[in-house]
Amino acid sequence: MQGYTKIEYSRNNDVILRNTKGHFITPNAHVNYFIDLCDTKARMKEARAAGESLAEFYIASEVIDTILCLNGMEVVGSYLADSLTRAGVISKNAHKTMYITGPEYNVNGQIMFRDNNKHMITDKKVLILSDSVTTGGMLKSALDSVRFYQGEVVGIAAFFSVATQIENYPIRSLFSSRELPDYACYPPDGCPLCKEGHPVDAICNGFGYSTL
């Protein structure tokens, strides 16, 4: 893979979109960019900057009880919760603090919560936090799960998102196709890069990439 291009967020230069162009396979699609959020998820300074920047979208919220973090976004989610709490956003939880949790997947790929942690979703106001959104397949699974456990989705946040909404929920993101105007997402059976004979650079998911 070629080296990364770095794009800084306009309101905080510690928030960095690392990307490289090529031919990549994700669980739901083929894309022409790989968005690398490894350091954003794991490096304290960057995770804190991302969480604080995302919090700006939700400081007018009345109540957020739980942040459901997809694809390993729990560290960012913790800083997001801390920023919201300091800004005065409250939770109705018994200890007046927000839950930060990640999903478990069953054999059918559905998001599930076990008996000892479903209280984080049931009757809670849930903010869903994702790393990057292309097709929205994982977000749809998260929405279905929150509804199944009788929670209420109050927002969707993402570090990078091509989509602007899903099921009438707006997606608030720090980066979008504004920064990568030629970003493209294709169905696996209709990828023009494949048809033109471009080799696949890597297989990607929420954990990172594996080169071929």
DSSP letter (8 states) at residue 183: -
pLDDT tens-digit profile of 44-82? 999 999 999 999 999 999 999 999 999 999 999 999 999
Buried b (16+ CB within 10 A) or exposed e, 60-97: ebeebbbbbbbbbbbbbbbbbbbbbbeeebebeeeeee
Please compute the mean of the pLDDT values over residues 99-103 and round it to a whole number: 96
Tracing tokens 């196709």 back to the chain, one arrives at 177
Beta strands in the chain (DSSP E): 5-9, 12-25, 30-36, 66-69, 99-101, 104-105, 111-112, 125-133, 152-161, 165-166, 169-175, 185-186, 202-205, 208-211
pLDDT tens-digit profile of 151-199? 999 999 999 999 999 999 999 999 999 999 999 999 999 999 999 999 9
Please compute the mean of the pLDDT values over residues 19-27 and round it to a whole number: 94
Is the pLDDT confidence value at 2 over 80? Answer: no
Domain 5-211 has CATH 2.40.37.10: no
- Split at pLDDT 50, 70, 90, the class of 206 is confident
Q: Which amino acid is at 164?
A: T
- What is the model's pLDDT at position 1? 61
pLDDT tens-digit profile of 178-188? 999 999 999 99
Return the CA Rg of the chain: 17
Is the pLDDT confidence value at 143 over 90? Answer: yes
